[in-house]
Amino acid sequence: MGSSTTTVGRRARPAVTPWMSGKEKTMQGYQQRHRFWVLIGYLALIGMGCAHVVSEPLRQQADTTLSFAELRANPEVFKGHTVILGGEILQTTNLREGTRLEILQRPLNSSGRPVLTDETGGRFMAFCQEYLDPAVYAPRRPVTVAGQVLGSHTGKVGEVDYLYPLISCQEVHLFPSDSAGVRRYAGDPWWYDDPYLYPVAPGFYPSIFWGIRIN
């Protein structure tokens, strides 16, 4: 009487192709390389999204213990301190000596980008020695500015006198004007980065403009 062997609990192995054509090998290699470079690109974008928009040297100089409320209460006390502030542009004014930005302050996320919530500590002004086109630096554009506290400037909001903290523009980072996207994706790694960055070396800020000179 013949005997039979029954295997229990094992799955049938899938058929293994003992060989591949040259074309199939080439296609498989291409797919593997494609997946590899897609992964590398994704990781690179994640790294860029997590990077701070302000350069490391300026971040190291910045007074991170100084709150905007303290600065706004008494800007003159903090003259010479390096700060990083951001918010929404309210107005861009071109002057002979440079450009003045009036900005509604907003909190910054971990990457230094403004988070456009309803939270704000008030307004501040930034003076940039460069010419900035008001059509580009337009109202409601999110912006981050890093520079030294120059003092204060008294202006008006409507008919009310307003004391603005005034800072220099050592770095300016401008973000897209799509406020809906900004509000929702303030920390998104796919954030469109700022093409409007320029460095300004510390130096002379014309006394005819602000009556302030920094060395």
Candidates 185, 184, 115; CA nearest to 143 is 115
pLDDT per residue as tens digits for the range 56-90: 999 999 999 999 999 999 999 999 999 999 999 99
Q: Which residues contact 123 (CB under 8 A, 6 or more apart)?
A: 90, 102, 103, 104, 105, 157, 162, 164
> Tokens 């100084």 correspond to what residue?
66
List of residues 6+ apart from 110 with CB closer than 8 A: 50, 52, 187
Q: What is the pLDDT of residue 26?
A: 67
Amino acid sitting at position 95: L
Residue 182 sits at φ, ψ, to 5 deg, of -60, -45
pLDDT digit string (tens) for 38-57? 666 655 555 555 689 999 99
Instruction: Name the residue among 149, 158, 170, 156 with its Cα closest to residue 73.
Output: 149
| pTM, two decimal places | 0.64
Max Cα distance, the chain (Å): 114
The fraction of the chain above a pLDDT of 90, given in percent, is: 56
Instruction: Quickly state the pLDDT bin for 116 (edges 50, 70, 90).
Output: confident
What mean pLDDT comes out for the span 119-140?
Answer: 96
29 against 118, higher pLDDT: 118
What pLDDT, on the 0 to 100 scale, is given for residue 74? 95
